[in-house]
Amino acid sequence: MFNENRPKLKLTKTKTQKALDIATFGTLLLASIYAIISYSTLPDQVPMHFNLSGKVDDYGNKNTVWVLIILAFGLCYGLFKLNNYPHLFNYPNPITEDNAESQYKSAIKIMSLVNFMMALLFALIIYQIVSLGISGEKKTTVWSEYLIYAIVSIMIFGPLIWVIKTTVSSSKKG
């Protein structure tokens, strides 16, 4: 394997990481409870796809909400478990005995944040599908559109900025 020489460390989670983990699964749990409570009032067909301006452009069976919930929990749980194996991650710099702990801790922190942002994104999508299904509205609210854009931007650019910052600071040290 490409990273078999990397040190395998057992790291303890920080309070921030524990809080992010709780927030991740708490967010999904709240979205699931909202869907469960609202399910009986949903029409058979609910909004399933939105164009860039937030207008509904496709509908699907209301049971698809459960698929989203299962997918969200599955993906978030997968990332949660993957954080136990930071030696498997990709890093911009070579991992050595000297830098392994700091690199692993940094990577776990950013993965925990990405996991939370992914949970927020799924929760917002589930909320939109259910609330628009109940109300019959044909367009999402402006605040939810901007929130989705912000979450996706953080998920893309946050790790990218971290990699650039880490690479630059490592090259200055070396």
Say which range, 8-17, 91-100, 112-121, 160-169, has the weakest mean pLDDT.
160-169
pLDDT-based confidence at residue 40 (cuts at 50, 70, 90): very high
**Domain-located, residue 138:** yes
Query: What is the chain's mean pLDDT, rounded?
Result: 89
**Domain-located, residue 130:** yes
Sign for the pseudo-dihedral over CA of 127, 132, 134, 135: positive
> Three-class SS of residue 161?
helix
pLDDT of residue 171: 64
Domain coverage including residue 114 = 15-173
**Domain-located, residue 149:** yes
**Domain-located, residue 74:** yes
pLDDT tens digit sequence for 127-154: 999 999 999 888 888 888 888 889 999 8
**Domain-located, residue 106:** yes
- Please name the residues in contact with 77: beta carbons below 8 A apart, sequence gap of 6 or more: none
**Domain-located, residue 2:** no
pLDDT at 161 over 90: no
In DSSP terms, 47 is beta-bridged to: 59
Q: How many domains would you assign to the chain? A: 1
